[in-house]
Structure 1
Amino acid sequence: MKHARLGAGAALAVSALLAVGVAQAPLAGAVSPGTATVAFDCGSYGSGSATLTASQDGTTATITLSTSAITAPFEISADSVSSNLTMTNTDGSTVSFTGGSNPDIPAGGAVSTGPLTGTVAAGENLSATSLTVTVFGITATCTATSAQTPPFSF
């Protein structure tokens, strides 16, 4: 009987140690960092900085973007913007993030879009390189003029 109690106690101790180890392990599939900045030139629509916020769930990543490079000439209602953000991996491959969501944007306000959704693989290090934003059939094409700081690691 004494050995049964000792065996049960040892099993309980091992289980507790494993639970602590799992709780302290990093989350698999988490993007790092959560926020980055980049500058865009959007031709006649303007130029300026952009803030990108990323999240990840498995192989699906979402990015929201707000940029002063494009300002709304008039009020834009929610879900009127269609966007495509191209990000380049360190190996030269690209990943597209697309979406058709935006909050209400007041006249003169910076354009915000997202979530933009794309598929990522573990180990990819992505930086924004281009952006297209379409509002009411008018498309602004933007090119990154600075390196994204820092790149997103998936």
Structure 2
Amino acid sequence: MRHGRLALGSALGAGALAVSALVLAPAAGAVEPQEASIGFECGSFGSGSAALKATQNGTAATIEVSTSAITAPIDVGAGAVNSTLTLTKNGSGTTTFSGNSNPAIPAGSPVSTGPLSGTVAAGDSLEASSLKIVVFGITVNCTATSAQTPGPFKF
């Protein structure tokens, strides 16, 4: 009987140790990489690089965009930029992330927008291909001029 209790106690102790290790382990990012950069050409509005930051929560994902390709000619209030980021999905199709959330942007500063919301599935590989920004009724269409580095977002 004593051996039975010892075995049960050892099994319970090992189980508790495994559970505590899982609880204390740092949370892994669901999307990799979490940050990427890409070049954009925005016609007469300019060209430049963009920083992309992605997050995921289940099938919901967000991407924040900050680009030097477009600068604000005047102060832009928070929430005044309506944006749509189109991404190539798994090398062939496309998906879009959109929203009208942005911080206040001082005149002359690069445009920042997001988080832009979209839906993803496990295994999706997404790479930015174009960006559409509407500010004060003015539409700016940007096209990617380089591959996303360090690579596509993998969800």
* TM superposition score normalised by structure 2: 0.90
Structure 1 residue 17: Cα displacement: 5.0
| 2:154 paired residue number | 153
* TM superposition score normalised by structure 1: 0.91
Identity of counterpart residues, as a percentage?
A: 58
| 1:36 paired residue number | 36
Greater CA drift, 113-122 or 82-91: 82-91
- SS for the counterpart of 2:97 is strand
Structure 1 residue 134: Cα displacement: 0.3
CA RMSD of aligned residues (A): 1.9
Q: What per-residue deviation string (whole Å, max 9, x for no partner) do you get for residues 96-124 of structure 1? A: 00010111101111000000000011111
CA spacing shift, 1:25–1:14, aligned 2, 3 Å: farther
Structure 1: 5+ residue runs without aligned partners? Answer: none
| 1:85 paired residue number | 85
Greater CA drift, 67-76 or 11-20: 11-20
- SS for the counterpart of 1:103 is coil
| 1:109 paired residue number | 109
Runs of 4 or more off by more than 3 Å in structure 1?
A: 20-27
- SS for the counterpart of 1:8 is helix
Structure 2: 5+ residue runs without aligned partners? Answer: none
| 1:53 paired residue number | 53
Structure 1 residue 146: Cα displacement: 0.3
